[in-house]
Amino acid sequence: MIIVHETFICKPGNASKIAKLFKEWAEVATQKNINVMTDMTGQYHRVIIASSFENLASFEESMKTMGQSEEEKKVMEKFNDMNEMYVSGSREIFKVW
């Protein structure tokens, strides 16, 4: 199994907005193993989207199909201004032993 962390460092005042957007998306996403987290310690204004997958191939497949359902498309439209809400981002992929 692997766990993927998508981390966004948000502009001040935007972390909760981005977290709410991702939470709304997670509720309609075809993949159901998604957690939306905000950091309580460490760097401020950080939102982390954590997902788990059986292997890298299943992660790659989910990236291909993300946003394809009608429900997801409607929610994804709300992400149009997201680039204005964060400073940087990164992805980490962990192997679970």
- Residue 28: what pLDDT? 84
Exposure of 26 by Cβ count < 10 A (0-12 exposed, 13-18 middle, 19+ buried)? middle
* 2-10, strands of its sheet edge to edge: 34-38, 46-53, 2-10, 86-95
Q: Look up the CATH number of the domain holding residue 29.
A: 3.30.70.100
Number of domains in the chain: 1
Query: Has residue 12 got a pLDDT over 90?
Result: yes
The pLDDT assigned to 80 comes to 84
Tell me if 24 sits within 8 A of 77, measured CB to CB: no
The CB density around residue 4, as the number of other CB atoms within 10 Å, is 19
Q: Give residue 85's domain range.
A: 2-95
Residue range 31-81, pLDDT digits in tens: 778 999 998 888 889 999 999 999 999 999 888 877 677 777 787 788 888
